[in-house]
Amino acid sequence: MIVCDEKLGVCSVVEVDLKDELELEQPTLFYIGDPMCSWCYGMSDILKDTQEYCAKNGIKFQTIVAGLRASGQVLWDKRFKGFLKHEWTNISNKTGKKFSFEILDLLNFDYDTTPACKAVLIAKILSSNNSKIVLEFFSKIQEKFYANSQDTKKLEFYKEICEDLSLDFEEFSKLFEDKSLDKKLQNEFIFGRNLSSSFPSLILVNKKQKVNIKKREKIKQIGNINPRNGNKKPKWKKKKKKKNLS
């Protein structure tokens, strides 16, 4: 069950045992995020490189949407808009990613991330879960929302994205309006949030071993887990402590 904080617009779920869900045939790197998570947008270029690295090294890459602000419910007031402006400015300064602030001028806006997450789920279905296409779809949503202030809740938002990635927009439209997919989306939210409670996160799973790839660790080190290593735990390189010369 997903529970949402109406003031923060952030959702959480009751933890479940992932033992069976993590019975995987090959090492898998799960990217847990939300198309309308600003730090996910800030890391988008790194994530594309990571997906390519996985494809070349026998590691499955899976994008999991976790519903940052599922069903909206966040109060679109001066305080929240000020928070977003500060965060977006900070991320832009640190990553060089372009942000448009036009959307913050709107008197009313429902910051519901569910439609964008559902769109990514549909992209998985239409592409037979092609990891490169799914991540590219995810990234294009981010570009249109953050850099161009377009509304992810509108069906037409996704038409150009589908065309760019050769996905059938007519079929996409049917699925976007299909309420029967909502349960599957909720299950993905629960799965993602039980893998990690923060976004963006990279969780590497091999033989039911779960490793959280932290910022201080090089993404390349995921290569330490590959089909040839079996049950071996990855050997993370320790950073040498710098001597304080001041």
Distance CA(203)–CA(63), nearest Å, equals 11
CA distance linking residue 79 with residue 213, whole number of Å: 33
Burial class (CB in 10 A: 0-12, 13-18, 19+), 161: buried
Where is average pLDDT lowest: 81-85, 131-135, 164-168, 191-195? 191-195
Strand partners, 33: 65
Residue-wise DSSP of 126-184: HTTS-HHHHHHHHHHHHIIIIIT---TTSGGGGHHHHHHTT--HHHHHHHHT-GGGHHH
pLDDT in the model for residue 134 = 98
Between CA 153 and CA 111 the distance in angstroms is: 9
Q: Which two tokens stand for residue 99?
A: 């942000």
Asked whether residue 142 carries a pLDDT value surpassing 80, the answer given is yes
Q: Does residue 80 carry a pLDDT above 90?
A: yes
- Confidence class for position 32, pLDDT limits 50, 70, 90: very high
Q: Name the residue among 32, 22, 73 with its Cα closest to residue 205.
A: 22
Widest pairwise Cα distance in the chain: 64
Main-chain dihedrals φ then ψ at residue 147, nearest 5 degrees: -90, -20
pTM score of the predicted model: 0.80
Contacts 24+ apart (CB under 8 A), 217-223: 219/46, 219/49, 219/50, 219/53, 220/53, 222/29, 222/50, 222/53, 222/54, 222/57, 222/59, 223/53, 223/57, 223/59
pLDDT band, very low/low/confident/very high, at 241 (cuts 50, 70, 90): very low
Q: For the segment 44-70, what is each residue's pLDDT rounded down to a tens digit?
A: 999 999 999 999 999 999 999 988 887
Closest CA to 222 of 232, 209, 236: 236
Beta strand segments in the chain, E: 2-5, 10-13, 28-33, 60-65, 201-206, 209-213
Across residues 170-191, what is the average pLDDT?
95
CA atoms within 13 A on the CB side of 215: 5
Q: What is the pLDDT of residue 10?
A: 43
Average pLDDT along the chain: 82
CB 101 within 8 A of CB 88: yes
Question: Residues 96-108: what's their mean pLDDT?
Answer: 96
Q: What is the mean pLDDT of residues 111-123?
A: 96
